[in-house]
């Protein structure tokens, strides 16, 4: 009986093993995860879970009983120490598992601050795992002073939660604007105004020089000479693919674990999906750090492990919740050269449409689910209404789907 082993029990790993079973795979399945809990959702960690609005059990992607019911062996709190690709062996917890097909869904890890600038001090946190959030929850007390390092979505979401709980927040972004890597200036402006209106002090174009304190952080020095008193620090400076195990196994690494259009690595019996996997997209090898990619790519890989031979074509979408604003993003804005704005004069809904020439690439929609869905369907269908059409508030947007 064939044995498929999946290393990495996040969104991608959980999606992969479920798809194997639902697609009719009857062999053995083993899912291995380093964390001591069943696969869970990560997006709510920095939002509903941190706020206390979501119970632990609701984080789980499926009840733990599901895995037993589906005859999936779940090895939690287990670190894989080595892969012997020649023998098709996985070394985990003193045990050796033999596999027929192996999938690496090892995800990514939060980047940390160097210890040399205070990154190892008590009171300095990242936001990536359940343990990370559990460790910092007690810090979110009204009147405390927090420093959020990094103006990406994680840093902004954590800042929003902190303000809701009465924490004083300063956010420092070394780039010239928040969200610079992922969004247009218009979206940056929108969220800068939103956070400022809720009392977050945003400092852009200034880096963190060092954190101060003996055992526990008590302050920060910025690169412009500013000194801040802080009670705790949230580090949101991006994530890095967990590709060390793959590298040790001799797989090709290029911005993560390099895979082909079907999700196969440089070893024909090893596959990869999710945050850790890189694939050709718009002329470059890229990784998509999103729930959508983790699920869709993992499900494609599951079918291909069974011999389907399908090409994976991503249909990217993302979201972020901050205060009472829901940001929804469809498509990829890579290479855009113009932005079209649609702003509803009768509501708080606004959307920014990214174009490269006359080609629609992506949409950022704030509290505007209708235009988000229309934009998403247009992009997935390869349709690009003229920018002037999108800009015209009299345009019947739904009719564009039939054009």
User: Which pLDDT score, from 0 to 100, does residue 290 have?
Assistant: 94
> Could you tell me the pLDDT band of residue 282, with boundaries at 50, 70 and 90?
confident
pLDDT at 249 over 90: yes
**Six token digits for residue 355:** 């174009």
Mean pLDDT throughout 23-49? 96
What are the backbone dihedrals phi and psi of residue 341, each rounded to the nearest 5 degrees, phi first?
-105, 135
Q: Which long-range contacts (CB under 8 A, 24 or more apart) does 96-99 make?
A: 97/3, 97/5, 97/30, 98/3, 99/3, 99/4, 99/5, 99/269
Q: For 373-387, what is each residue's pLDDT tens digit?
A: 999 999 999 999 999
User: Which pLDDT score, from 0 to 100, does residue 83 have?
Assistant: 98
Question: Residue 143 class from Cβ within 10 Å (0-12 exposed, 13-18 middle, 19+ buried)?
Answer: exposed
Q: For 301-323, what is each residue's pLDDT tens digit?
A: 999 999 999 999 999 999 999 99
Q: Name the one residue in this structure whose structure tokens are 């990869």.
A: 272
**Six token digits for residue 26:** 């009857």
User: Which pLDDT score, from 0 to 100, does residue 296 have?
Assistant: 98
User: Which pLDDT score, from 0 to 100, does residue 374 have?
Assistant: 98
* Neighbour count for residue 315 (Cβ, 10 Å): 12
Q: Name the one residue in this structure whose structure tokens are 């027929």.
A: 100
Q: For 108-129, what is each residue's pLDDT tens digit?
A: 999 999 999 999 999 999 999 9
User: Which pLDDT score, from 0 to 100, does residue 166 have?
Assistant: 98
pLDDT at 134 over 90: yes
Q: Name the one residue in this structure whose structure tokens are 């983790």.
A: 294
Q: Going from the N-terminus, what domains does the chain have, and what CATH number goes with each?
A: 3-109+239-305 (3.50.50.60), 112-235 (3.50.50.60), 324-402 (3.30.390.30)
Cα–Cα distance for residue pair 254/328, rounded to 1 Å:
29
Q: For 65-93, what is each residue's pLDDT tens digit?
A: 999 999 999 999 999 999 999 999 999 98
Mean pLDDT throughout 272-288? 95
CB 308 within 8 A of CB 277: no
> Could you tell me the pLDDT band of residue 346, with boundaries at 50, 70 and 90?
confident
Contacts of 92 (CB under 8 A, 6+ apart): 32, 75, 78, 79, 80, 81
**Checking DSSP bridges between strand 72-75 and strand 28-32, what pairing results, if any?**
parallel
Buried b (16+ CB within 10 A) or exposed e, 121-139: bebbbbbbbbebbeebeeb
* Neighbour count for residue 29 (Cβ, 10 Å): 23
User: Which pLDDT score, from 0 to 100, does residue 344 have?
Assistant: 85
Cα–Cα distance for residue pair 236/153, rounded to 1 Å:
8
pLDDT at 233 over 90: yes
Q: Name the one residue in this structure whose structure tokens are 């927090």.
A: 146
Q: What is the mean pLDDT of the chain?
A: 97
pLDDT at 276 over 90: yes
pLDDT at 39 over 90: yes
- C-alpha 31, offset from chain centre: 21
> How many angstroms separate the Cα of 105 from the Cα of each of 4, 121, 125, 371?
13, 31, 24, 33
Cα–Cα distance for residue pair 171/203, rounded to 1 Å:
6
Q: What is the pTM of this model?
A: 0.95
Question: Residue 54 class from Cβ within 10 Å (0-12 exposed, 13-18 middle, 19+ buried)?
Answer: middle
User: Which pLDDT score, from 0 to 100, does residue 117 have?
Assistant: 98
CA dihedral 381, 385, 391, 395 (to 10 degrees): -90
User: Which pLDDT score, from 0 to 100, does residue 105 have?
Assistant: 98
User: Which pLDDT score, from 0 to 100, does residue 403 have?
Assistant: 78
CB 78 within 8 A of CB 34: yes
CB 215 within 8 A of CB 73: no
**Six token digits for residue 15:** 């999606």
């Amino acid at each position: 009986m064939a044995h498929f082993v999946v290393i990495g029990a996040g969104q991608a790993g959980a999606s992969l093993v479920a798809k194997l079973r639902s697609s009719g795979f009857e062999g053995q399945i083993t899912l291995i995860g380093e964390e001591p809990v069943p696969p869970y959702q990560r997006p709510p960690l920095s939002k509903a879970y941190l706020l206390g609005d979501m119970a632990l059990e609701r984080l789980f992607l499926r009840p733990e009983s599901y895995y037993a019911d589906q005859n999936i062996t779940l090895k939690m709190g287990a670190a894989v120490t080595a892969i012997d690709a020649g023998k098709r062996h996985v070394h985990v917890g003193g045990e050796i598992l033999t596999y027929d097909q192996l999938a690496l869904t090892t995800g990514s890890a939060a980047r940390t601050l160097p210890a040399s600038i205070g990154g190892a001090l008590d009171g300095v946190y990242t936001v990536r795992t359940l343990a990370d959030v559990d460790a910092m929850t007690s810090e979110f007390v009204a009147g405390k002073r927090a420093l959020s390092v990094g103006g990406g979505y994680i840093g902004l979401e954590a800042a929003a939660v902190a303000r809701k709980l009465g924490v004083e927040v300063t956010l420092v972004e070394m780039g010239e604007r928040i969200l610079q890597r992922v969004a247009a200036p218009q979206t940056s402006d929108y969220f800068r105004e939103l956070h400022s209106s809720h009392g977050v002090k945003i400092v852009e174009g200034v880096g963190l020089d060092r954190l101060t304190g003996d055992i526990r952080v008590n302050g920060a020095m910025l690169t412009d000479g500013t000194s801040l008193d802080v009670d705790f620090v949230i580090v949101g400076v991006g994530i890095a693919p967990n590709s060390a195990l793959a590298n040790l196994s001799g797989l090709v690494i290029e911005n993560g674990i390099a895979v082909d259009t079907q999700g196969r690595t440089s070893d024909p019996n090893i596959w990869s999906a999710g945050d850790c996997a890189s694939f050709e997209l718009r002329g470059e090898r890229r990784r998509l750090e999103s729930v959508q990619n983790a699920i869709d790519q993992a499900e494609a890989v599951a079918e291909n492990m069974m011999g389907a031979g399908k090409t994976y074509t991503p249909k990217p979408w993302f979201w972020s919740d901050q205060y009472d604003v829901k940001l929804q993003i469809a498509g990829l804005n890579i290479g855009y050269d113009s932005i079209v704005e649609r702003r509803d004069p009768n509501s708080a809904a606004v959307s920014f449409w990214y174009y490269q020439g006359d080609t629609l690439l992506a949409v950022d929609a704030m509290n505007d689910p209708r235009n988000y869905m229309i934009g998403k369907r247009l992009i997935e269908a390869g349709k690009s209404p003229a920018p002037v059409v999108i800009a015209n508030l009299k345009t019947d947007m739904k009719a564009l789907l039939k054009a």
